[in-house]
Structure 1
Amino acid sequence: MNDQVPTVQIPKSGEIRMTLLAVGSSVALARELVRYALTNWGYTRSLIDDSILVMSEITTNAVNAAPGHHIRIRITAHDGAPLLECWDPAPGLPLPRVAGADAVSGRGLAIVAAYAEDTGVRPSATGKGKIIWALMPATDASPPP
């Protein structure tokens, strides 16, 4: 049994990037990376919790769009606000759905829109896949320069 716990060094400023396999367990890794980064950067607990939820939703979309492929997440700040991004290689754009009262999925984009200051999708610079992004509200914290 391996008793070593991997650690991730979170810089005091800049950005965090991670490549993950598009499987369900990667969503938990993305959430924890947001928690560690935004806590280290001095954001409020409320904004951290909201950002974790949003990253969970956009990462889940990527996992569902490209199962078994690699996806990439990026966490940085834009004008003092957390900017969360997730790239996946699938060409299709996510479309908002109306989820029924008993549905277990279909609310992700609505959740992202409700918590983020702004959100969108843009093509990847390489022309392969797309990036779903969410700009969270700015706070009084001291985000990275």
Structure 2
Amino acid sequence: MDDRVPTLQIHKSDEIRMTLLAVGSSVALARELVRYALTHWGYERSLIDDSILVMSEITTNAVNAAPGRHIRIRIATYNGAPLLECWDPAPELPLPRSAGADAVSGRGLAIIAAYAQETGTRPSATAQGKIIWALMPPA
């Protein structure tokens, strides 16, 4: 398998998974996958836009945590709401930090929390790495 080619797995009608390389361009792919899935599933434009922003932040955190390694994104529905997840192999949990007015980074977790109904981090089932997730407001 060519590591530079993203793999897409569609398990059922309300779940999409993709494995990506942890590089900056993968963030754009994650955003487009959210746009595709939530549009296909009939969500409203404002929720789609908010979900795209949240997935962008989640994926950026994974790219920064594990540069050049594989990451996995998952878009699903849970009780009628979009569920956004990203796994990365780094064991370190993201920590909220205070970003100054001129800072170019450091606001990701705050942005995720502002738009998501719930958010969190959990260890992966294999005990390698972690999953950052965000449950968006229901439609």
Question: Could you tell me the TM-score, scaled by structure 2's length?
Answer: 0.92
Unaligned runs of 5+ in 2: 1-7
Judged with a 3 Å threshold, the aligned counterparts in structure 2 of structure 1 residues 36 and 80 are, in CA distance, closer, same or farther, namely: same
> Which residue in the other structure is 1:62 paired with?
62
> Which residue in the other structure is 1:101 paired with?
101
Judged with a 3 Å threshold, the aligned counterparts in structure 2 of structure 1 residues 58 and 9 are, in CA distance, closer, same or farther, namely: closer
Deviation string, structure 1 residues 5-62 (Cα, Å, up to 9, x no partner): xxx7978822000000000000000000000000000000000000000000000000
Q: Which protein, 1 or 2, shows the higher relative CO under an 8 Å CA cutoff with sep ≥ 6?
A: 1
Inter-partner Cα distance in structure 2 for 1:12 and 1:24:
28
- Indicate conservation of the 8 Å contact 2:10/2:17, yes or no: no
Inter-partner Cα distance in structure 1 for 2:48 and 2:99:
26
Judged with a 3 Å threshold, the aligned counterparts in structure 2 of structure 1 residues 105 and 38 are, in CA distance, closer, same or farther, namely: same
Matches within 5 A, 1:26-65: 26-65=26-65
The one-letter amino acid paired with 2:13 is S
> Which residue in the other structure is 1:4 paired with?
none
Question: Could you tell me the TM-score, scaled by structure 1's length?
Answer: 0.88
What's the % identity of the aligned pairs?
Answer: 85
SS in 2 for 1:120: strand
- Indicate conservation of the 8 Å contact 2:20/2:26, yes or no: yes
**How many residue pairs end up in the alignment?**
133
| Root mean square deviation, CA, Å | 1.7
SS in 1 for 2:120: strand
The one-letter amino acid paired with 2:104 is V
